[in-house]
Structure 1
């Protein structure tokens, strides 16, 4: 049962259209996907275990100590997916990769959003009906979701788009991902707090840092941002890129 402290759920609670995630590498980050039923889900990845890759030489450092599943036998349902990237379909076991199952929450209150201090677990935005969510996920499985980018276009961004149809049209901000927003918020708190160090004590400095972190997170959430618009998945795929979508109304399939 999803609660304030944890979004962990059991497998029998899963419903088609749910946005689920599982923590990786000792809670370093979470991998997200859309459950479509019958033990299958659709998700966006750079390859097994590489969802936080930067696409630079830094990846060698990031993954040098990461466990490798290349020697594991292929899944009888999914086949060999260790090098798969883009939007793919997997069974629940392959997606979880031995981790626990969590459900991303939609339409939470600002108080609950702040209470869940770790980003990438909930949003103030409302979810669309399950049939719309699954339609987007299945359409993107066939047509792709652009290039993977850990800050602008990652697995959480994919799942949030499938659930809401919302895209950010600003070219100077991170994507819809709560995990990316948390990193930016934490950086803002670290940079801003020392500027007040000479005028406040440790308690005041801590309070200021926490306040900056919380405010930065909530104003970055797709549920309150103004630089977002609803984009039909057919229009999204027809465009040359995902960064600057044009305004459009939902098609009849998603009305």
Structure 2
């Protein structure tokens, strides 16, 4: 495991690890927390509804639902219709993909060498027993809210379990590196000031790359200021309170 790849063998897993597996030819990844005994707790939306837009786009992504095809797993059963925080065996979680380890407490230099987001963060991880407690508590109470690709996805869940950090800003793009990378890329491409900074194609590429790196860096949960450490019990209580108010209205 290093700069080029975060791939790890199953034998190297430790309970409390944040793991992920790439989907659809490395377009995006699914994340979860390994809790030991070959099991992973992760945040999902039912098959064909992973984006949560209520449009045809929901049918294009099958990132988080185990047992999408073939015979249901003997250990997990048929989990295609499950949503929220669930527990699956490692085979169902990987869905035929390779296993990767998400890195914490990386240096700024290492972070920037990872051109693809959703693989590491500058934030520090808490101790494994704390991480597992958060994951299991959210599993028992299904307390991570509604799945949303852009604001509340599987990577957000895993990062919260590892760090206890939540973004306070209402209109945040979320905590996940994958979405931060997408946002940074779109900003770099669409920013009109670029045309005034350089007239050459190579210069434009350098400026766009620089803006992309800066965008990723300032969006990382380990450096941004609009985050707060929230106990998992408090998070679940707040979720339940919000659901009660919604039902009452």
What is the TM-score of this pair, normalised by structure 1? 0.88
Aligned length: 238
- Where does residue 84 of structure 1 map in the other structure? 82
Q: Residue 54 of structure 1: CA displacement?
A: 3.6
User: d(CA) in 2 for partners of 1:60 and 1:155?
Assistant: 15
- Where does residue 175 of structure 2 map in the other structure? 176
Q: Residue 173 of structure 1: CA displacement?
A: 1.5
User: d(CA) in 1 for partners of 2:160 and 2:61?
Assistant: 28
Q: Residue 230 of structure 1: CA displacement?
A: 0.4
Q: Please list every run of at least 4 consecutive aligned residues from structure 1 whose deviation after the TM superposition is greater than 3 angstroms.
A: 48-51, 68-71, 240-243
- Where does residue 118 of structure 1 map in the other structure? 116
SS in 1 for 2:187: helix
- Where does residue 246 of structure 2 map in the other structure? none
- Where does residue 134 of structure 1 map in the other structure? 132
Listed one character per residue, the Cα deviations across residues 107-155 of structure 1 (whole Å, up to 9, x for unaligned) are 0000000000100000000000000000000000011210001011000
Q: Residue 62 of structure 1: CA displacement?
A: 2.5
Q: Residue 50 of structure 1: CA displacement?
A: 4.9
What is the TM-score of this pair, normalised by structure 2? 0.90
- Where does residue 164 of structure 2 map in the other structure? 165
Aligned-CA RMSD value: 2.1
1:227-242 equivalent positions in 2, closer than 5 A: 227-240=226-239
1:1-255 equivalent positions in 2, closer than 5 A: 2-48=1-47, 50-51=49-50, 53-59=51-57, 62-63=60-61, 70=68, 72-144=70-142, 145-192=144-191, 195-196=194-195, 199-240=198-239
Gaps of 5+ in 2: 243-249
